[in-house]
Structure 1
Protein backbone atom coordinates (compact mmCIF):
# COMPACT_ATOMS: atom_id res chain seq x y z
CA UNK A 1 0.00 0.00 0.00
CA UNK A 2 2.82 2.44 0.87
CA UNK A 3 4.50 1.66 -2.43
CA UNK A 4 1.31 2.60 -4.29
CA UNK A 5 1.13 5.91 -2.40
CA UNK A 6 4.78 6.63 -3.24
CA UNK A 7 4.11 5.96 -6.93
CA UNK A 8 1.06 8.27 -6.87
CA UNK A 9 2.95 11.10 -5.17
CA UNK A 10 5.83 10.70 -7.63
CA UNK A 11 3.40 10.78 -10.56
CA UNK A 12 1.84 13.99 -9.24
CA UNK A 13 5.20 15.73 -8.88
CA UNK A 14 6.59 14.70 -12.27
CA UNK A 15 5.89 17.04 -15.18
CA UNK A 16 3.33 15.64 -17.62
CA UNK A 17 4.43 15.20 -21.20
CA UNK A 18 4.05 18.41 -23.18
CA UNK A 19 3.94 20.49 -20.01
CA UNK A 20 6.65 22.95 -19.01
CA UNK A 21 8.73 22.15 -15.96
CA UNK A 22 8.37 24.18 -12.79
CA UNK A 23 9.03 23.70 -9.09
CA UNK A 24 6.36 22.53 -6.67
CA UNK A 25 6.14 26.02 -5.20
CA UNK A 26 5.78 27.60 -8.64
CA UNK A 27 3.11 25.03 -9.44
CA UNK A 28 1.14 26.06 -6.38
CA UNK A 29 1.28 29.73 -7.38
CA UNK A 30 0.20 28.86 -10.91
CA UNK A 31 -2.63 26.67 -9.60
CA UNK A 32 -3.76 29.52 -7.34
CA UNK A 33 -3.77 31.98 -10.25
CA UNK A 34 -5.87 29.61 -12.33
CA UNK A 35 -8.29 28.72 -9.51
CA UNK A 36 -8.70 32.36 -8.45
CA UNK A 37 -9.52 33.36 -12.02
CA UNK A 38 -11.99 30.52 -12.36
CA UNK A 39 -13.83 31.49 -9.17
CA UNK A 40 -13.65 35.28 -9.42
CA UNK A 41 -13.63 35.80 -13.22
CA UNK A 42 -10.55 38.01 -12.91
CA UNK A 43 -6.87 37.58 -12.19
CA UNK A 44 -5.66 37.78 -8.59
CA UNK A 45 -3.84 40.79 -7.21
CA UNK A 46 -0.49 40.15 -5.55
CA UNK A 47 -2.26 40.93 -2.24
CA UNK A 48 -4.66 38.02 -2.86
CA UNK A 49 -1.71 35.67 -3.27
CA UNK A 50 -0.03 37.13 -0.20
CA UNK A 51 -3.16 36.48 1.86
CA UNK A 52 -3.50 32.89 0.60
CA UNK A 53 0.14 31.84 0.91
CA UNK A 54 0.84 33.79 4.10
CA UNK A 55 4.12 35.28 2.88
CA UNK A 56 5.45 38.81 2.51
CA UNK A 57 4.63 41.16 -0.36
CA UNK A 58 8.25 41.10 -1.66
CA UNK A 59 8.16 37.28 -1.74
CA UNK A 60 5.01 37.32 -3.85
CA UNK A 61 6.41 39.94 -6.19
CA UNK A 62 9.64 37.97 -6.69
CA UNK A 63 7.65 34.82 -7.48
CA UNK A 64 5.54 36.71 -10.03
CA UNK A 65 8.71 38.07 -11.64
CA UNK A 66 10.20 34.54 -11.80
CA UNK A 67 7.02 33.07 -13.30
CA UNK A 68 6.97 35.83 -15.89
CA UNK A 69 10.68 35.45 -16.69
CA UNK A 70 10.22 31.68 -17.12
CA UNK A 71 7.39 32.26 -19.61
CA UNK A 72 4.68 30.73 -17.43
CA UNK A 73 2.61 33.91 -17.03
CA UNK A 74 2.23 37.27 -18.76
CA UNK A 75 1.38 40.68 -17.25
CA UNK A 76 0.56 44.03 -18.76
CA UNK A 77 2.63 46.90 -17.39
CA UNK A 78 0.63 49.47 -15.44
CA UNK A 79 -2.52 47.35 -15.43
CA UNK A 80 -3.80 45.85 -12.17
CA UNK A 81 -4.88 42.20 -12.08
CA UNK A 82 -3.38 41.48 -15.49
CA UNK A 83 -1.71 38.13 -14.73
CA UNK A 84 -2.47 35.63 -17.47
CA UNK A 85 -1.44 31.96 -17.50
CA UNK A 86 0.52 30.94 -20.58
CA UNK A 87 0.31 27.20 -19.93
CA UNK A 88 -2.55 24.73 -20.12
CA UNK A 89 -4.36 24.42 -16.80
CA UNK A 90 -4.24 20.62 -17.21
CA UNK A 91 -0.49 20.87 -16.55
CA UNK A 92 -1.07 22.39 -13.12
CA UNK A 93 -0.89 20.47 -9.83
CA UNK A 94 -3.78 20.32 -7.39
CA UNK A 95 -3.86 23.46 -5.26
CA UNK A 96 -3.02 22.56 -1.66
CA UNK A 97 -4.46 24.53 1.28
CA UNK A 98 -1.85 26.61 3.07
CA UNK A 99 -3.66 27.40 6.29
CA UNK A 100 -5.84 25.50 8.67
CA UNK A 101 -9.41 26.74 8.74
CA UNK A 102 -10.05 29.15 11.58
CA UNK A 103 -13.50 29.25 13.11
CA UNK A 104 -15.18 30.98 15.99
CA UNK A 105 -17.49 28.03 16.55
CA UNK A 106 -16.75 26.22 19.78
CA UNK A 107 -16.04 22.53 19.62
CA UNK A 108 -18.26 20.18 21.56
Structure 2
Protein backbone atom coordinates (compact mmCIF):
# COMPACT_ATOMS: atom_id res chain seq x y z
CA UNK A 1 0.00 0.00 0.00
CA UNK A 2 1.25 3.47 -0.87
CA UNK A 3 1.05 6.45 1.50
CA UNK A 4 -1.87 7.75 -0.55
CA UNK A 5 -3.75 4.46 -0.11
CA UNK A 6 -3.09 4.54 3.63
CA UNK A 7 -4.41 8.09 3.88
CA UNK A 8 -7.55 7.21 1.94
CA UNK A 9 -8.12 4.22 4.20
CA UNK A 10 -8.32 6.66 7.14
CA UNK A 11 -11.80 7.75 6.04
CA UNK A 12 -14.83 6.15 4.43
CA UNK A 13 -15.88 6.91 0.85
CA UNK A 14 -18.77 9.07 2.14
CA UNK A 15 -16.43 10.96 4.48
CA UNK A 16 -14.12 11.45 1.51
CA UNK A 17 -16.95 13.08 -0.44
CA UNK A 18 -17.62 15.50 2.42
CA UNK A 19 -13.90 16.33 2.64
CA UNK A 20 -13.69 16.86 -1.13
CA UNK A 21 -16.78 19.09 -0.97
CA UNK A 22 -15.12 21.21 1.73
CA UNK A 23 -12.01 21.56 -0.43
CA UNK A 24 -13.79 22.53 -3.65
CA UNK A 25 -16.42 24.73 -2.00
CA UNK A 26 -13.72 26.66 -0.17
CA UNK A 27 -11.62 26.97 -3.32
CA UNK A 28 -14.53 28.30 -5.38
CA UNK A 29 -16.17 30.55 -2.78
CA UNK A 30 -13.15 31.57 -0.70
CA UNK A 31 -15.02 30.66 2.48
CA UNK A 32 -15.69 27.21 3.94
CA UNK A 33 -19.18 25.76 3.50
CA UNK A 34 -21.94 26.17 6.08
CA UNK A 35 -23.85 23.07 7.12
CA UNK A 36 -26.77 24.30 4.95
CA UNK A 37 -24.47 24.10 1.91
CA UNK A 38 -23.86 20.39 2.61
CA UNK A 39 -27.62 19.84 2.97
CA UNK A 40 -28.25 21.36 -0.46
CA UNK A 41 -25.39 19.58 -2.20
CA UNK A 42 -25.83 16.09 -0.73
CA UNK A 43 -29.62 16.19 -0.38
CA UNK A 44 -29.56 14.98 3.22
CA UNK A 45 -31.03 16.35 6.43
CA UNK A 46 -29.35 18.95 8.64
CA UNK A 47 -28.89 16.44 11.51
CA UNK A 48 -27.17 14.03 9.09
CA UNK A 49 -24.73 16.74 8.01
CA UNK A 50 -24.07 17.82 11.59
CA UNK A 51 -23.39 14.24 12.65
CA UNK A 52 -20.89 13.82 9.79
CA UNK A 53 -19.12 17.09 10.66
CA UNK A 54 -18.82 15.96 14.30
CA UNK A 55 -17.39 12.60 13.16
CA UNK A 56 -14.89 14.25 10.81
CA UNK A 57 -13.74 16.55 13.59
CA UNK A 58 -13.44 13.68 16.09
CA UNK A 59 -11.28 11.81 13.56
CA UNK A 60 -9.10 14.94 13.17
CA UNK A 61 -9.91 15.10 9.46
CA UNK A 62 -11.19 18.66 9.92
CA UNK A 63 -11.00 21.35 12.58
CA UNK A 64 -13.51 24.03 13.55
CA UNK A 65 -13.62 27.06 15.80
CA UNK A 66 -16.47 26.61 18.29
CA UNK A 67 -19.19 29.24 17.94
CA UNK A 68 -17.81 30.62 14.67
CA UNK A 69 -19.71 29.95 11.46
CA UNK A 70 -17.89 28.81 8.34
CA UNK A 71 -14.77 27.88 10.29
CA UNK A 72 -14.16 24.37 8.89
CA UNK A 73 -10.53 23.71 7.97
CA UNK A 74 -9.34 20.54 6.25
CA UNK A 75 -6.83 18.35 8.02
CA UNK A 76 -6.16 16.28 4.89
CA UNK A 77 -3.92 17.39 2.01
CA UNK A 78 -5.61 17.81 -1.38
CA UNK A 79 -3.62 14.99 -2.97
CA UNK A 80 -5.16 12.56 -0.48
CA UNK A 81 -8.76 13.53 -1.23
CA UNK A 82 -10.97 11.63 -3.68
CA UNK A 83 -12.59 13.35 -6.63
CA UNK A 84 -15.94 14.92 -5.84
CA UNK A 85 -18.75 12.93 -7.43
Offset, 1:75: 0.3
TM-score by length of 1: 0.73
Q: Which has the larger radius of gyration?
A: 1
How far apart are the structure 2 equivalents of 1:82 and 1:42? 8
**Of the candidates 38, 52, 61, which is equivalent to residue 27 of structure 2?**
38
Q: Which residue of 1 aligns with 2:39?
A: 50
Q: d(CA) in 2 for partners of 1:76 and 1:36?
A: 18
2:82 paired with 1:82: no
Q: Which of 8, 27, 32 does residue 16 from structure 2 map onto?
A: 27
User: Number of matched residues?
Assistant: 83
Question: Does the residue aligned with 1:19 lie in a helix, a strand or coil?
Answer: helix
5+ unaligned residues in a row in structure 2: which ranges? none
Deviation at 1:19, TM superposition (A): 2.2
Provide Cα deviations, 1:18-37, integer angstroms capped at 9, x if missing partner: 62510000000000000000
Structure-2-length-normalised TM-score: 0.92
- What is the root-mean-square deviation of aligned Cα atoms in Å? 1.7
Unaligned runs of 5+ in 1: 1-13, 97-108
3-state SS in 1 of match to 2:51? helix
Higher helix share: 2
Shift of 1:87: 1.1
